Amino acid sequence: MESANIVIIGAGVVGLAVAAKVSESNEEVYVFEKNARHGQETSSHNSGVIHSGIHYPKNSLKAKLCVKGNTMMYELCEKYQIPFKRLGKLTVAIEEEEVNELDKLMRAGTENGVEGLKFLGEEAVRRLEPNVEVEKALLTPSTGILEPDELMNHFYARTRKNNAVLATETEVTSIRKTDGGYEVAGVSVGEKFSVTAKTVINCAGLFSDKVAAMVGLDVAKLGYLIYPCKGDYFRVAGKPLVKMLVYPVPKGPGLGIHLTPDLAGSIRLGPNAYYVDKIDYAVESGEKEFREDVTRFVPKVRDYEIHEDSSGIRPKLQGPKDGFRDFAIRHEADNGFFGLINLVGIESPGLTAAAAIGEHVAEIVENEVKR
Ligand SMILES: Cc1cc2nc3c(=O)[nH]c(=O)nc-3n(C[C@H](O)[C@H](O)[C@H](O)COP(=O)(O)OP(=O)(O)OC[C@H]3O[C@@H](n4cnc5c(N)ncnc54)[C@H](O)[C@@H]3O)c2cc1C
């Protein structure tokens, strides 16, 4: 049986960011990825937005890692030429009663340390975005977009440079606690394999509850059950309707159907949000919902054709009847599994926070596991 120091399960943006960081100061780091390439699941099925941090309660991991991750992400993009644009975002109140929701976002953003927040009236909004017709808006200048594949390639290159190994087509099917750590086993390119590791880091995204259960943790009791929540996108044909990101106030389990320019300027609408029980990336929604929602604040969308684009699936801890749930990033020592670190429920803003999550997990390894 081969031995490793640290095994990371999952090579999405989070597993790769964690690998890039922990391999700076640890030898024998392995990343196991079930697909033929890294980043084929949630990390390549999202909006590519660098969020600011206005949507999360004060002191939550989501708030802290998003705000820190936002700064880190712009620094990374500038330093390593990862394509990005700092476009800014408008969150809009269409009706009078939605103005209260804008106040709440302003409060949360201020408490979280988001800089440059500003309310804009109808006229000021129209000057910035002539096709947006609303009562009031909250301007978030630090919101932007980036190219997720390029970001993942960057983390992967750093992982390789630090001599960590990414094994693709390698699915972990069991994890057993041993005297000195864990025996991680599964199937790699059609062959059974087994590796011992002192530390195991679970970054398995939509499957992170199943991976956590492999070791024998009661995932239902710990609140680690994933409720997959899908979001579809449509694309607007023709000349861009807006230059900035434009969001309604959030409602339901998503952020509401919004307009996001991509790096070429083309506009995507979405994602909407509905719970599913299987992982299937086919677009299931109809055009009507998207058109109606967006017409409320960008009436001109009526003159444009829109087409099915893509979808993504959020690994949510928040079930259909639940309120806010934070990221779960836990060293399971207190639950009897020293050296096992679970990352569960890493939905949005996981892309924005990836580098900050990498640092956070590396600190857990240094301060709790290696001590
Ligand atoms: C519709 C949508 C829009 C979003 N928009 C944004 C946004 O604009 N900005 C933002 O910050 N965040 C956004 N997010 C969130 C962001 O995309 C995620 O937080 C992030 O991609 C999660 O990365 P991950 O590495 O944890 O998961 P994943 O990318 O899903 O990676 C997990 C990996 O683990 C592998 N794996 C699973 N089980 C095993 C196993 N047993 N053995 C080996 N490998 C395994 C999988 O194959 C996968 O590659 C969005 C999410 C969705 C769904």
Give the three-state DSSP class for 260. Answer: strand
For ligand 1, whether the C-beta of 358 sits within 6 Å is: no
pLDDT digits (tens, 9 = 90+) for 13-35: 999 999 999 999 999 999 999 99
Mutate to test the pocket of ligand 1, among 21, 32, 41, 201 (most ligand atoms within 8 A of CB): 41
Atom of ligand 1 lying closest to residue 231 CA: 1
**Average of per-residue pLDDT across 328-340:** 98
Predicted confidence at residue 192, as pLDDT, reads 97
Check if 314 has its Cβ closer than 6 Å to any atom of ligand 1: yes
Q: Are strands 170-177 and 267-270 parallel, antiparallel or unpaired?
A: unpaired
Among candidates 105, 77, 33, 29, which has minimal Cα distance to 355?
77
Q: What is the pLDDT of residues 256-308, one digit of tens each?
A: 899 999 999 999 999 999 999 999 999 999 999 999 999 999 999 999 999 99
pLDDT at 95: 87
Question: Under DSSP, is residue 65 helix (H, G, I), strand (E, B) or coil?
Answer: helix
Sign, Cα dihedral of 72, 73, 74, 79: positive
Amino acid at residue number 218: D
Q: For the segment 70-122, what is each residue's pLDDT rounded down to a tens digit? A: 999 999 999 999 999 999 999 999 988 899 999 999 999 999 999 999 999 99
Say whether 59 sits in a helix, a strand or coil.
Answer: coil
Separation between Cα atoms, residue 349 and residue 54, nearest integer Å: 11
- Report DSSP letters for 179-206, one per residue: SSSEEEEEEETTEEEEEEEEEEEE--GG
Q: What is the pLDDT of residue 251?
A: 82
pLDDT grade for 255, boundaries at 50, 70 and 90: confident
Banded pLDDT at 252 (limits 50, 70, 90): confident
43 burial type by CB count under 10 A (0-12 exposed, 13-18 middle, 19+ buried): buried
Mean pLDDT along residues 199-224: 98
The CB of 245 under 6 Å from ligand 1? The reply is: no
Q: What is the pLDDT of residue 292?
A: 95
Q: Point out which residues pair with 254 in neighbouring strands.
A: none
Give the SS3 label for residue 281: coil
Using alpha carbons, list the distances in angstroms from residue 16 to 48, 162, 204: 16, 12, 11
Phi, psi angle pair for 24, to nearest 5°: -65, -35
Task: Kindly state if the Cβ of 34 falls inside 6 Å of ligand 1.
Answer: yes
Residue bearing tokens 């992400």 = 73
Average pLDDT, the chain: 97
pLDDT over 90 (residue 254): no
Which residue type does 138 have? L
Which three-class secondary structure state does DSSP give residue 25?
coil
Q: Answer yes or no: are the C-beta atoms of 183 and 84 closer than 8 Å.
A: no
The DSSP symbol for 133 reads -
Q: How many CB atoms lie within 10 A of CB 100?
A: 10
Distances (CA, A) of 101 to 96, 107, 196, 251: 10, 10, 50, 10
What is the distance between the alpha carbons of residues 193 and 30, in angstroms, rounded to a whole number? 13
Q: What is the pLDDT of residue 46?
A: 97
| pLDDT at 370 (0 to 100) | 87
User: Helices 350-364 & 148-161, crossing angle to 10 degrees?
Assistant: 20
* % of the chain at pLDDT higher than 70: 100
| DSSP-assigned letter for residue 348 | T
Which pLDDT belongs to residue 308? 97
pLDDT value at 371 more than 80: no
Asked if residue 271 has its Cβ within 6 Å of ligand 1, the reply is: yes
Please tell me the predicted confidence (pLDDT) of residue 149: 98
Residues across the chain:
371
**Single-letter code of the amino acid located at 234:** F
Within 8 A by CB and 6+ apart from 310, the residues are: 45, 232, 233, 281, 283
Tell whether ligand 1 has an atom less than 6 A from the beta carbon of residue 268.
no
Q: How remote is the CA of residue 44 from the centroid of ligand 1, in Å?
A: 8
